Amino acid sequence: MFGWFGKRTRETRDDSIRQIIPRELWEDEIGTAIHDAGLSPDDGTNPAPMDPVDARIAAEKLAHEAVLAGENARIGAEHPGCRVATQFILTDDIWNGPHAELLLDVLELTPYWQFNTRFLPADEASARTMGLPVHHLGQFGDVLGVADGHIADLAERCGLGDIATGRTASDEAKEEMKRELAGLTNHYYEECILPLLRENPYPAGD
């Protein structure tokens, strides 16, 4: 899932090379999570030429994986042998679709933001113990069929319907759009994805 993480050529650091995780991202809660995962700004794998959007995605992916590891430690303590995996709500076709520039560039979101992720059992044994459906890695047709239209409506309502205008929109307008997206994805998860997974469970990891 998510195709931004292809192999990158490692190069010797110099002043012209961006870091995969820029130094400023190590200074907030994302940085804390990445430090907890055992990495540092000067890690040998960190320097590489990378677009700022890719850098943000890579940083938030690492931070999310640190959160997932913590959640699995908690779950394992409560239910030995059980583990969870990330359930994405807006999936590849949406992040790579007509609203990619709005989501990734204007709003500076990534697939790993909390509004777009939930944790569900990673396998059938965990699902039976936890009483939840197994996570699904693929797309959800019921979401794909309506998400582009819903996002377009929200953008128009928040004054971000035009990308050029959106780039100069106020922080308040962008934050309003993020709140609306959080509500939309929660609706998709509760009213579409969970019922679908409960009624028609996919084999783990499909």
Per-residue pLDDT tens for 11-65? 333 333 345 555 555 566 556 666 666 666 555 555 555 678 899 999 999 999 9
CA distance 194 to 152: 24
d(CA 67, CA 188): 22
Q: What is the pLDDT of residue 28?
A: 62
With a cut of 70, say whether residue 96 has pLDDT above it: yes
pLDDT of 159 = 93
CA-CA distance, 201 to 184, in Å (whole number)? 23
Higher pLDDT among residues 33 and 196, named by residue? 196
Residue 196 and residue 143 in contact, taking contact as beta carbons nearer than 8 Å: no
What is the three-class DSSP state of 84? strand
Are 119 and 86 in contact by the 8 Å Cβ rule? The answer is: yes
What is the phi/psi pair of residue 96, to 5°? Answer: -100, 5
46, 85 contact by CB (below 8 A): no
d(CA 105, CA 114): 18
Give residue 9's pLDDT: 30
For the chain, the structural domain boundaries read 1-78, 83-206
Quick one: pLDDT at residue 38? 62
97 has pLDDT over 50: yes
Task: Specify the pLDDT at position 166.
Answer: 81
* Identity of the amino acid at 139: Q
- CB-CB contact of 58 with 47 (8 Å): no
Average pLDDT in the chain: 82
200 backbone φψ class: left, alpha, beta (φ>0; ψ -120 to 50): beta
pLDDT of residue 27: 63
Strands (E) located in 30-180: 84-88, 117-121
Over residues 120-151, the pLDDT tens digits come to 999 999 999 999 999 998 899 999 999 999 99
